[in-house]
Homo-oligomer: A and B are copies of this chain.
Amino acid sequence: MIAEQTLTEQYLRVRAHSEAICRGLETEDYVVQPIADVSPPKWHLGHTTWFWETFVLQPNAPGYRIFHEDFSYVFNSYYETVGKRVLRTDRGNLSRPTVTGVYTYRAYVDEHMSRFLDTDDLSPDLYAIIQLGLNHEQQHQELLITDIKYSLGHNPLLPSIEMPINYPPPSKAAEKKHIGTSALPAQNGRGATGESKGITISEGIYAIGHPHTNQAIDSFYFDNEISRHKVYLNETTLASSLTTNAEYLAFIEAGGYQNFRHWLSDGWAWVKANHIQAPLYWHNIDGEWWNYTFEGLVPIALDEPVCHVSQYEADAYARWRGQRLPTEFEWEAAADQLNWGTRWEWTNSAYLPYPGFITAEGAVGEYNGKFMSGQIVLRGASVATPEGHSRPTYRNFFQPDKRWQFTGIRLAK
């Protein structure tokens, strides 16, 4: 967030980006939900709007009338507090409200939000809710991108589409400023042999977590990343660059997906049950590997960082290399020296509460804490992460088998 903007400007800019992501879609693309994890774009656009209506306008804007009483039912997600909800697996079965209806809903709420933000003297609590809403919408922007990719990438026509992501064309990678904190492109940091050089952190005590002294407009944090606390780390070396497609291909060609020894027990069961043989979106056509991207099916770009791997695959690759994944603490301790921001980086840390974590009261309290079981922390950000929505203390999290996000691998030893 850039402090010079008014809150209304911030709000409208975030809202506009959600719609910009969808600009290349056909109406039909807004509707489908090929797997439970992947929500229809229409749903994301409605759900983020419902957030503003439910948590800001309804309780705070005098005389606000909700747009449509059934929308709360349709666009609620997992907030058990706020009424019944459409089963996550049913979202793709709903043709109504229409896309036009959802955009009308957005316009209606945006108009009321603009008026509200312009005139209201916000309490700190309400200000915090609005910042949460902006970050919530940014999270759904990343999901919009990954969900659209999944739907189109599983369509037999494999269509290409315009998508405003910060994806560096291979040849320009070295010149492009990445979207994280560091100025180096993703694929430098390698010596003459092509081996990634290491970044070493020394043994000792590190402070981990967001130093949330005064949450101001330009320093949003989630409740799961505060309670800055001390962690004792051993000396560790992290790879200075992400694992490339070429490196990962060597694992495939060495029979990595056929040898149980490299895999966690759950990972091996996942490989066998789902017949996994390569990262998501890789297609072997007549012996050549192709990759589905927003430009359509293209040959694998060997020097780009591998993408769309599960934590099981990341872990197996690391074992095969005789290394391991970093913990989230090692990653954060080294973050300033890392060139991050193009892939969410799998750690080997379970997503658990920091010392002193407290679940907030009310529906907002359902945001993070209740997911602290069975998930793995990812650090960094990806090409799909909206500008301004990344920081070294950010804790993303998914189950270890998920790979439709822009996930990658950084080795540690």
Q: Are A28 and B27 in contact (CB under 8 A)?
A: yes
A159, B96: Cα distance in complex, Å: 8
**Shortest Cβ distance from A282 into chain B, in angstroms?**
20
Given A98-B26, A231-B232, A350-B352; A32-B34 close (CB under 8 Å): no
A78, B156: Cα distance in complex, Å: 17
A133 sits at the interface (CB 8 A): no
Interface residues of A (CB under 8 A from B): 26-34, 42, 70, 73-74, 78, 80-81, 86, 90, 92-99, 151-152, 154-157, 159, 205, 229-232, 234, 260-261, 263-268, 312, 315, 319, 324, 348-350, 352-353, 355-356, 359, 370-374, 400
Q: Are A30 and B32 in contact (CB under 8 A)?
A: no
Residues of B within 8 A of A312 (CB): 373
Q: Are B32 and A94 in contact (CB under 8 A)?
A: yes
When all copies of this chain in the complex are counted, the total is: 4
Residues of B within 8 A of A154 (CB): 93
Q: Are B264 and A372 in contact (CB under 8 A)?
A: yes
**Shortest Cβ distance from A303 into chain B, in angstroms?**
30
- Which residue in B80, B93, B156 is a CB contact (below 8 Å) of A32? B93
- Which residue in B234, B265, B349, B356 is a CB contact (below 8 Å) of A370? B265
- CB nearest neighbor in B for A357: B324
| Closest 5 A/B residue pairs (Cβ) | A350-B350, A34-B93, A28-B95, A232-B232, A29-B95
A260, B359: Cα distance in complex, Å: 13
**Shortest Cβ distance from A257 into chain B, in angstroms?**
14
**Shortest Cβ distance from A7 into chain B, in angstroms?**
31
Residues of B within 8 A of A32 (CB): 31, 92-95
